[in-house]
Structure 1
């Protein structure tokens, strides 16, 4: 069993976040405007694991995960009420 973790947008991801996700998480954060960063409360990332694969989801509905081939991909959850 692997436990997840949370961290705030714009801060360094914790060590538990796999290297394979870090570049895409950084790319997502680079696209977020300063105005969005200044909002209260600051959106947070949540790292969870499903069938051994890491999933990082931002409160806004952005999801960074790995494909079966190990490629990091960015998706958006259209059903997320926050987005």
Structure 2
């Protein structure tokens, strides 16, 4: 099990943040209008890092499902 961490927007990410995730976080911060008071949270899902900003911005090296099923149908009919 890997533990996550939090840090402030604009600060250097902690050492536990993987090197391949750092440029993606930097790019997300560059696109943000204002990061005042915001924080990043690093979590791990199935061994893959996911950094989420308080505003809902997600940065990861893994695919993330953020929408409905491709057919538009719910997969709840079981």
TM-score, scaled to structure 1: 0.71
Offset at 1:37?
A: 3.1
Unmatched 5+ residue regions in structure 2? 68-78
Match of 1:37 in 2: 35
Give the alignment partner of residue 54 of structure 2, picking from 43, 55, 59.
59
| Cα distance, 1:10 vs structure 2 | 0.7
Give the number of the structure whose alpha-carbon radius of gyration is greater.
Answer: 2
**Structure 1 residue 61, shift from structure 2 partner:** 0.4
Task: Give unmatched runs, 5+ long, in structure 1.
Answer: 69-74, 79-83
Superposition map of 1:1-80 within 5 A: 1-33=1-33, 36-38=34-36, 42-67=37-62
Judging by fraction of residues, say which structure has more strand: 1
Q: Over aligned residue pairs, what C-alpha RMSD do you find?
A: 1.9
More helix by share: 1
* Aligned-pair CA distance for 1:49: 0.3
Count of residue pairs brought into register by the alignment: 66
Q: Distance in 2 between matches of 1:37 and 1:43?
A: 5
TM-score, structure 2 normalization: 0.75
